[in-house]
Amino acid sequence: MPLTIAQIGQELPIRKIGGKEETRRFLEGLGFVIGGLVTVVSEMNGNLIVKVKDSRVAISKEMANKIMV
Amino acid sequence: MKVKIALAGNPNSGKTTLFNALTGSNQFVGNWPGVTVEKKEGKIKGYTAKGEEAVLVDLPGIYSLSPYTLEEVVSRNFLISEKPDAIINIIDGTNLERNLYLTTQLTELGIPVIAAVNMMDLVRKNGEELNIERLAKDIGCKVVEISALKGEGIDQLAQRAVAIAKSGKNVQPAHRFEGCVEHAIAHIEEAVTGHVDASMERWYAVKLFERDKKVQESLKLDKVTLDHIEEDILSCEKEMDDDAESIITGERYNYIGSIIEDCYKKRVKEQMSVSDKIDRIVTNRFLALPIFALVMFAVYYVSVTTVGNFLTDWTNDTLFGEWIIPAARSGLEAIGCAEWLTGLLVDGIISGVGAVLGFVPQMLVLFLFLAFLEGCGYMARIAFIMDRIFRKFGLSGKSFIPMLIGIGCGVPGVMASRTIENDRDRKMTIMTTTFIPCGAKLPIIALIAGALFDGAPWVAPSAYFVGIAAIVCSGIILKKTKMFAGDPAPFVMELPAYHLPTVENVLRSTWERGWSFIKKAGTIILLSTIFVWFAQSFGFEGGSFGMVEDMDHSILAAIGSAIAWIFTPLGWGDWKAAVAAITGLVAKENVVGTFGILYGFGEVAEDGAEIWGSLAGSFTQAAAYSFLVFNLLCAPCFAAMGAIKREMNNIKWFWFAIGYQTILAYTVALCVYQIGTLATKGTFGIGTVVAFVLIVGFLYLLFRPYKERGGSYLER
């Protein structure tokens, strides 16, 4: 399922990252890699704050939709 | 001996704090060549006296050395082409895994690296353990524990960094990839031998393996070699069942995972951190906006109305009004200074520049708050909270910060747009930021509200509303043009952990922003006040050129009369209003002062209470509001225009921005006057027709469909 519908507070492994090459690489640099764990900390109108590799990252709904967990 | 050391690290890893701690006040700020990314250089403290010099270059905050963001490209080019003698890699100890990703890339460059593990005090406080010796062995470079915030370990870091820079010994990256990857890389290394610096062979090989376009182009390898390399990559991709770049990324994170296991002891089960708990409340979907509104109201209330207002009044009325100006006047009179010179110095320069400097305390208070909000981590959350709203009209949440700072002064506001990576979003933010009424536009609002609207309480909020509406409409209209078509860049932003910023960092940031404002007062405004004073005091009277008694005969009046017709459709084609609008280009706070002088009152209060009567006589309400709107939206003051030019970094874009702002201001002001006159007096004329045509055109631009991305005009 896309990260946007993941439950808040649940730690989940990343299965796939879609989207443009450029953004995907940027996400990889930030720690979003396949197999890595993410937790949704909070949600606002679809935009998410997620925890990945000990840091908090804010991502837009469009981006979060492309991250499959 | 002179050594050059680069400081590299992730954003939010404490890089700026470390840079300040290492260099103190020996800093030089500039731009990286050709781009608007800020470049900071400084001399490391303690190495200047002994005939030795160690220059520290602060690289932009980056997550990797891939060529996808401007910051990454800038850092990479610097490291490859200028080859610093050493790299200090700052690592956030509380977020090792992510930070080490960059480290694994830096150690491949063949430049000596020293890793500075920051926030060690926090790591210990959290009850976690990090074995530094093992970490050093695992990543293959020297490691120093520091706390940039508390100043721990800084001297040791400086000494060691300079020592390894002088030794000139290369580091060998300790990490190795999976067998078949190493095999391919070894082949590529052989192919590039002789084309690149021997110490950087591995880095080039890895990049070629990743099919990095920029590296491929820079090496100019012949086709046979490239095909050969491609074969190696393809066979490896087949074996690993993944694309080359993902293979490398995966391998790096795997390797980092093994490092962490080897040298890092986490607490058994981590609970929610304090930052997570705060974020639960502050970015909660129901509470986020009310909390944000409350914070903004508090900041604005304190810095503009109470403390700020008190300080500004004191500077204007007491410091300049009672002390400096009378003292200067009597001092000059006492030494028998010529009357015109006294006039120039006191009425022209001191009053003019003083009026501008009066805003400095207010602005410093505002910037102090903003620096604190930035330092503690809340500013990044604001961008997140505002993103969904801003996205609706084509901007990103990061555009909000420049606009927030623009409430104080447009110059640092425009400068703050640098944090927006996406070129289109940044240009649009630069163009629209100055629509927000800045501190200097407040007196104009107060003047119009007081003189024509009996101080009606709706006038001031309506000015902000006009500003916000201009941003929203501009966002939508510009987004539908060819230049800005396409979605705004997806919002991805790291949120730093909440922490109390150091007093030094808050003050430094406050001062840097305030200083950019003071500098403008000292240069552009000083020159233009001299010009305005000269133009209004001299002219042709009685057939000869000289100081004029009646200002109607001055050069300024002549200029004003010559251009006043332009503003007739806006309802204020009077030379005095035209001149006031021109002096507004110099600095918006000049508008009220100019009216004061032109109506013959000399020095007036900030809101121009003395001239309310005269102004009410020569303006209708519709004309006054049109004048207000024009001044709010038109090209900002010279200093802000300078900032726009610098940040656009392109003369065509600069003129486009200024032109757009001025045309928009003219159009809106014209509609306000014509329709306002129709509503209040029932006058219908050709101007009214023009206004309605303009409104229809405006609505068309606003509601026409979005340009299809990748649509016909792109293919053509």
Nearest CA in chain A to B94: A54
The pLDDT assigned to B520 comes to 67
Tell me what pLDDT residue B270 has.
Answer: 58
Higher-scoring residue by pLDDT: B615, B312:
B615
Number of domains in chain B: 3
> DSSP letters of B138-176?
HHTSEEEE-BTTTTBTHHHHHHHHHHHHHH-PPP-----
Cβ-contact B162, B134 below 8 angstroms: no
Mean confidence (pLDDT) of chain B: 84
H and E: helices and strands count for chain B: 35, 12
Query: Which residues on chain A are in Cβ contact (under 8 Å) with B246?
Result: 28, 34
Nearest to B513 by CA among B651, B635, B407, B383: B407
Instruction: Note whether B285 contacts A44, CB cutoff 8 Å.
Output: yes
**Domain of residue A52, CATH code:** 2.30.30.90
Tokens of residue B316, six digits:
């204007």
Question: Are residues B259 and B138 part of one domain?
Answer: no
- Give the burial class of B685: count Cβ atoms within 10 A of its Cβ; 0-12 exposed, 13-18 middle, 19 or more buried: exposed
**Do B249 and B290 fall within a single domain?**
no
Domain count, chain A: 1
3-state secondary structure B622-683: HHHHHHHHHHHHCCCCHHHHHHHHHHHCCHHHHHHHHHHHHHHHHHHHHHHHHHHHHHHHCC
Q: What residues in A contact B276, CB-CB < 8 Å?
A: 41, 51, 56
Contacts of B459 (CB under 8 A, 6+ apart): B445, B448, B449, B453, B628
Reply yes or no on whether the pLDDT at B519 is more than 90.
no
> CA A23, CA A65: separation in Å to the nearest integer?
13
Instruction: Of B665, B662, B646, give the one whose Cα is nearest residue B654.
Output: B646
Q: Do B276 and A34 touch (CB under 8 A)?
A: no
> What pLDDT was estimated at residue B488?
63
Q: Contact at 8 Å (CB) between B168 and B85?
A: yes
Place of tokens 């290394």: B189
- CA end-to-end span of chain A: 6
Strands laid side by side in the B142-145 sheet: B27-31, B38-43, B53-58, B2-9, B86-92, B113-118, B142-145
Contact call for B276 and A41, based on CB within 8 A: yes
- Note the pLDDT of residue B521: 66
Contacts with B375 (C-beta within 8 Å, 6 or more apart), sequence order: B500, B501, B502, B505, B506, B509
The pLDDT-based confidence of B712 (bands split at 50, 70, 90) is: very low
Task: Decide if B276 touches A, using CB distance below 8 A.
Answer: yes
Average pLDDT, integer, range B31-48: 76
Q: Which residue has the higher pLDDT, B180 or B25?
A: B180
Residue B238: domain span: 179-265
**Cα–Cα distance for residue pair B716/B709, rounded to 1 Å:** 13
pLDDT of residue B33: 67
Of A22, A28, A49, the CB nearest to B283: A49
**Burial group, residue B621, by CB count within 10 angstroms (0-12, 13-18, 19+):** middle
Residue carrying structure tokens 């067998």 = B179
Q: Are residues B239 and B280 in the same domain?
A: no
Helices and strands of chain A, counted as H and E runs: 2, 6
Three-class DSSP category at B114: strand
Query: B233 and B275, same structural domain?
Result: no
In B217-236, the residues whose Cβ lies within 8 Å of chain A are none
- Chain A positions touching B280 (Cβ under 8 A) are 41-42
Mean per-residue pLDDT for B217-223? 85
Residues of A in contact with B391 (CB under 8 A): 60
Claim to verify: residue B655 and residue B612 sit in the same structural domain: yes
Q: Which tokens go with B535?
A: 């133009």
Q: Cβ contacts (< 8 Å) between B487 and chain A: which residues? A: 62
Q: Which amino acid appears at position B530 of this protein?
A: I
Q: Tell me what percent of the residues of chain B surpass a pLDDT of 90.
A: 21
Q: In Å, what is the CA distance from B422 to each residue of B38, B65, B69, B274, B425?
A: 16, 18, 9, 32, 5
State how far the Cα of B105 lies from the Cα of B206, in Å rounded to an integer.
10
Residue B711 banded pLDDT, cuts 50, 70, 90: very low
**Strand arrangement of the beta sheet that strand A11-13 belongs to:** A11-13, A37-44, A47-52, A55-59, B492-495
B270-277: which pairs have CB atoms within 8 A and are 24 or more residues apart? B273/B497, B274/B498, B275/A56, B275/B377, B275/B497, B275/B498, B276/A41, B276/A51, B276/A56
- Residue B315's Cβ-side half-sphere holds a number of Cα atoms within 13 Å equal to 20
Query: What is the pLDDT at residue B123?
Result: 85
Q: Per the CB < 8 Å rule, is A58 touching B383? A: yes
Q: Do A44 and B388 touch (CB under 8 A)?
A: yes
Tokens of B350: 């001191």
Distance in angstroms (rounded) separating the CA atoms of residues B29 and B22? 15
Distance from CA of A38 to the nearest CA of B (A): 13
State how far the Cα of B586 lies from the Cα of B583, in Å rounded to an integer: 5
Q: Write the pLDDT tens digit of every residue in B328-387.
A: 888 988 888 888 888 888 877 887 777 667 777 877 888 888 889 888 888 888 888 888
Identify which of B493, B119, B122 has the alpha carbon closest to the alpha carbon of residue A55: B493
CA dihedral in degrees (B484, B487, B488, B489; nearest 10)?
-120
**Size of chain A, expressed as the number of residues it contains:** 69
Whether residue B593 contacts residue B348, with contact meaning beta carbons closer than 8 Å, is answered with: no
Instruction: With a cut of 50, say whether residue B622 has pLDDT above it.
Output: yes
In this predicted structure, what is the pLDDT of residue B628? 94
Strand, coil or helix: B539: strand
From the list A31, A57, A44, the residue with the least C-alpha distance to A4 is A44
Phi and psi at residue B633, to the nearest 5°: -100, -25
Is B229 found in the same domain as B163?
no
Going by C-alpha positions, the residue among B382, B378, B376, B380 that lies closest to residue B501 is: B376
| Domain span including residue A29 | 3-68
User: B172 in a domain, yes or no?
Assistant: no
Residue B12: is its pLDDT beyond 90? Answer: no
B265, B287, B319 - which closes a domain: B265
Q: Does B490 touch chain A (CB under 8 A)?
A: yes
Enter the tokens of residue B114. 């020293």
Q: Is B465 on the interface with A (CB under 8 A)?
A: no
Which string of DSSP letters, residue by residue, matches B51-95? S-EEEEEEPPP-S-SSSSSHHHHHHHHIIIII--SEEEEEEEGGG
B79 burial (CB, 10 Å; 0-12 / 13-18 / 19+) is buried
Task: Specify whether B47 is located in the same domain as B124.
Answer: yes
* Same domain for B160 and B188: no
Q: Do residue A47 and residue B384 have CB atoms under 8 angstroms apart? A: yes
Which residues from A are below 8 Å from B when comparing CB atoms?
Answer: 19, 22-23, 25-31, 33-34, 36, 41-47, 49, 51-63
pLDDT at B525 over 80: no
- Region B80-109 average pLDDT: 91
In a domain, B344, yes or no: yes
User: What's the pLDDT tens digit per position in A9-41?
Assistant: 888 999 888 877 777 888 888 888 888 889 988
Task: Give me B284's structure tokens.
Answer: 């909660």
Domain-ending residue, one of B106, B141, B167: B167
User: Residue B513: in which H helix or E strand, if any?
Assistant: helix B503-520
pLDDT surpasses 90 at B607: no
Region B12-38: mean pLDDT is: 79
Task: Kindly give, in sequence order, each residue whose CB lies less than 8 Å from that of residue A27, ignoring residues fewer than 6 positions away.
Answer: A17, A63, A67, B492
The two beta strands, B53-58 and B2-9, are parallel
Q: Which residues from B are below 8 Å from A28, CB to CB?
A: 64, 246, 249
Q: What is the pLDDT of residue B401?
A: 83
Please tell me the predicted confidence (pLDDT) of residue B603: 63
B384 vs A58: CB contact, 8 Å cut-off? yes
B277/B259 same-domain check:
no
**Cα dihedral B447, B451, B454, B458 in deg (nearest 10):** -40
Closest to B296 measured CA to CA, from B414, B417, B378? B378
Give the whole-angstrom CA distance, residue B112 versus residue B84: 9
Q: What is the pLDDT of residues B308-329, one digit of tens each?
A: 778 877 887 888 888 888 888 8
Same domain, B15 and B68: yes
Q: Could A55 and B98 be called an inter-chain contact, meaning their C-beta atoms sit closer than 8 Å?
A: yes
Model pLDDT, residue B655? 95
Q: B213: domain CATH number? A: 1.10.287.1770
A19 contacts in chain B (CB < 8 Å): 490
Query: Does B174 reside within a domain?
Result: no
Q: Is the ipTM of this complex over 0.85?
A: yes
Which residue of chain A is at minimal alpha-carbon distance from B104?
A: A29
Of B237, B265, B293, which one is at a domain's C-terminal end? B265
| Residues B431-464 pLDDT 10s | 999 999 988 888 889 889 888 898 888 988 899 9
Structure confidence at residue B714 (pLDDT): 32
**Angle made by CA atoms B122, B385, B309, in degrees to the nearest 5:** 90
Q: Is the pLDDT of residue B715 over 60?
A: no
Q: Decide if B283 touches A, using CB distance below 8 A.
A: yes
Residue in the block written with tokens 């509200």 = B449
Residue of B13, B62, B66, B68 to mutate, interface with A, max A Cβ within 10 Å: B68
Is 0.80 topped by the overall pTM? Answer: no
Residue B173 falls within a domain, yes or no?
A: no
| Least confident range of B164-173, B202-211, B364-373, B703-712 | B703-712
Each residue's pLDDT tens digit, B282-294:
888 788 889 988 9
Please answer whether residues B252 and B350 qualify as being in contact, where contact means their C-beta atoms are separated by less than 8 angstroms: no
Distance CA B367, CA B311 (A): 14
List of residues 6+ apart from B531 with CB closer than 8 A: none
At residue B167, does pLDDT exceed 60?
yes
Whether residue B506 is found in the same domain as residue B440: yes
